């Protein structure tokens, strides 16, 4: 767990959506699956899991859903005005959200613990080789 003495806050690029996370964030990761690559426009998505009950949101969010390779439904939530990705979630873990680290006001608090879906990683996307 990542200790947080105060709430983490973040939002979208245009400022129309804001969120606040109370308490600790859990598992933090880089995901290299193709969906995350497309969602972020990069080689991976940096994210961290939080419980939905920890998060309060203001502003108009939009979403779209797809199926993961496992068959689970995956929802991607973003600003309805500028399109900035903010959260993703899966029906496999209905009480939690993945927060896109770049949407944090202070993204330096994000400390990745692992890299997932490495089989889909791009040769030009160099992540810290010490991550498991």
3-class secondary structure, 81: coil
- Model confidence pLDDT, tens digit, residues 16-37: 999 999 988 888 999 998 888 9
Contacts of 52 (CB under 8 A, 6+ apart): 89, 95, 96, 97
Domains, the chain: 8-120 (2.170.150.70)
How much is the pLDDT for 5? 54
Average the pLDDT over 96-110 and give the result: 95
131, two tokens: 């991550």
Contacts of 128 (CB under 8 A, 6+ apart): 112
Percentage of the chain beyond pLDDT 90 is 70
Average the pLDDT over 30-47 and give the result: 90
CB contact at 8 A, 11 and 80: no
- Model confidence pLDDT, tens digit, residues 6-19: 789 999 999 999 99
Rounded distance between C-alpha atoms, residue 132 and residue 129, angstroms: 8
Cα 26 to Cα 21, 52, 54, 56, 96, distances in angstroms: 12, 12, 11, 17, 10
Average the pLDDT over 53-59 and give the result: 96
Rounded distance between C-alpha atoms, residue 72 and residue 86, angstroms: 20
């Amino acid at each position: 767990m990542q200790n947080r003495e105060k709430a983490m806050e973040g939002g979208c690029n245009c400022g129309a959506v804001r969120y606040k996370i109370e308490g600790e964030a859990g598992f933090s990761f880089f995901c290299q699956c193709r969906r995350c690559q497309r969602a972020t426009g990069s080689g991976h998505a940096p994210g961290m899991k939080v419980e939905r009950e920890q998060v309060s949101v203001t502003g108009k969010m939009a979403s779209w859903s797809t199926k993961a390779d496992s068959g689970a439904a995956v929802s991607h939530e973003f600003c309805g005005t500028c399109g900035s990705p903010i959260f993703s979630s899966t029906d496999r873990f209905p009480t939690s959200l993945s927060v896109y680290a770049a949407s944090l006001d202070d993204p330096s608090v994000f400390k990745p613990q692992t890299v997932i879906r490495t089989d889909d990683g791009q040769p030009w996307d160099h992540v810290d080789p010490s991550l498991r």
